[in-house]
Amino acid sequence: MAEKVCAVCGKKVGFGSYKISDGQRACAKCMKKAGYGMSTSFNEIRSITLDDLKKDAKADKKALKLEKKEQQKENANRLKEFKADLKVSSYLLIDSKKRQFKIKGLLNGLTIYDLDSIRGYEIVENGGSVTSGGLGRAAVGALTFGGAGAIVGAVTGKKHSTSIVESMQVKILMSDIDNPVLFIDLISSKTKRTSIIYKTAVKDAEKIIYLLESQFKESADIGVQESSLEPQSSADEIRKFKELLDDGIITKEEFEEKKKDLLGL
C-alpha cells in the first residue's frame, strides 16, 4: 500500500491530515499556513485545490495590511480637509460643502463618513427602538417628522416600566459594508427621566435628527413636487430652520439664505 504524503510539502501524513478536492491530502501544517484549519467547514475543505494551498497566505495578509494602510492615509487626508460648518455640540459635526460628517467617539471621531451613505436612523433607549425614520433616497416624498417636538413626544409620550434610563443613542443606518451602523451615545449611565441630563439628551437627539434631515432638503423637495403637497409646506420648512437657528445649529445668515430659497426670492 502506497504511503500517504502531503501534496504540498511531500512529508508523510496520517491522522489529522485533510483530503482536498482532487483526492490528494494535505498536512495540518500546510493547511494552517494557507489559512485553513479546524474552523474550516467540511464542504470548503473538499473544494480546496492544490493551487489554493500553494498560495502564500503571508502575501495575502501583506496585501490586506497595505490596503488598510491606504485607507487610513485617505481618511487622514479627509480629516485634514474636513471643515465643520454645522454641529450639535461635539456629538455631530457636518461639512455641508463636502457632504461629510463625523461623530463623537474615541474611534468614530477619527473617521470621516459620507452623508449620502446615510439611509435611516433610530432613537434607541435602553436597547430598544423608540422611533425611527429614513433619510436620503429612503425618505424622498415623505417628511420623517411632522414638526418641532416630534422626537420629544415620541420619547416622553410613552409609558415606561422604569424611571431610570441606562442608555440613549442615535443609531445611524449606513449603506456601507465596512460601517453599516454608527452610534451616537447621549446617555451611557443610570439617569432619571425627570433629570435635566435626560431632558437635554432628548433635545440633543432631536437636534441631531433635524440637522441630518436638513442635509437632505433637496431630495425632499423633489418628493414634495412629485406628490403635490400643499403650498403651506414651505412655511413648515421655514419654521424648521427657525428652530435650528434658535438652537444655535445654523447661523442667522444660513437661515436667511434658506428662507429666501424656500420663498423663491
> Which burial class, exposed, middle or buried, applies to 263 when counting CB atoms under 10 A from its CB (0-12, 13-18, 19+)?
exposed
Same domain, 211 and 103: yes
pLDDT at 222: 43
Q: Is residue 20 part of a domain?
A: yes
Same domain? For 47 and 108 the reply is no
Both 51 and 98 in a single domain? no
Residue 114 lies in a domain: yes
Residue 175 shares a structural domain with residue 105: yes
Whether residues 87 and 45 share a domain: the answer is no
Q: Is 74 within the bounds of a domain? A: no
pLDDT per residue, tens digit, the chain (265 aa), is 567 888 888 888 877 788 888 788 888 888 888 878 777 787 788 888 888 787 765 666 677 778 888 888 888 898 999 999 999 988 999 999 999 999 987 666 678 999 999 988 888 998 888 776 665 443 333 334 344 345 555 555 555 667 899 999 999 999 988 789 999 999 999 999 899 999 999 889 989 988 988 888 655 454 444 444 444 467 777 887 787 777 766 778 878 887 887 777 6
Examine residue 37 and state whether it is found in any structural domain, yes or no: yes
Distances in Å between the alpha carbon of 115 and those of 27, 71, 172, 210? 50, 18, 11, 14
The domain containing residue 37 runs over which residues? Answer: 1-55
DSSP string, 222-262: HHHHHTT--TTHHHHHHHHHHHHHHTTSS-HHHHHHHHHHH
State the Cα–Cα distance between residues 88 and 201, nearest whole angstrom: 11
**How far apart (Å, rounded) are the C-alpha atoms in residues 92 and 15?**
57
Task: Tally the domains of the chain.
Answer: 2
Question: In this structure, which amino acid lies at residue 107?
Answer: L
Check whether residue 117 and residue 157 sit in a common domain.
yes
Output the nine-digit C-alpha cell for 50: 492544490
Indicate whether 195 belongs to any domain.
yes
What's the first-to-final CA gap in the chain, in angstroms? 93
Query: What pLDDT, on the 0 to 100 scale, is given for residue 83?
Result: 93
Specify whether 154 is located in the same domain as 40: no
What is the pLDDT at residue 227?
Answer: 44
Torsion (CA) 28, 33, 35, 41 in degrees, nearest 10: -10
2 and 47 share one domain: yes
> Does residue 38 fall inside a structural domain?
yes
The verdict on 25 and 131 lying in the same domain is: no
Contact 38, 29 (CB under 8 A): no
Place of cell 501534496: 7
Residue 234 lies in a domain: no
Same domain, 6 and 120: no
Assess whether 108 and 50 both reside in one domain: no
Helix H segments across the chain?
28-33, 42-47, 50-54, 57-81, 150-156, 196-214, 217-226, 233-246, 252-263
> Are 121 and 224 in the same domain?
yes
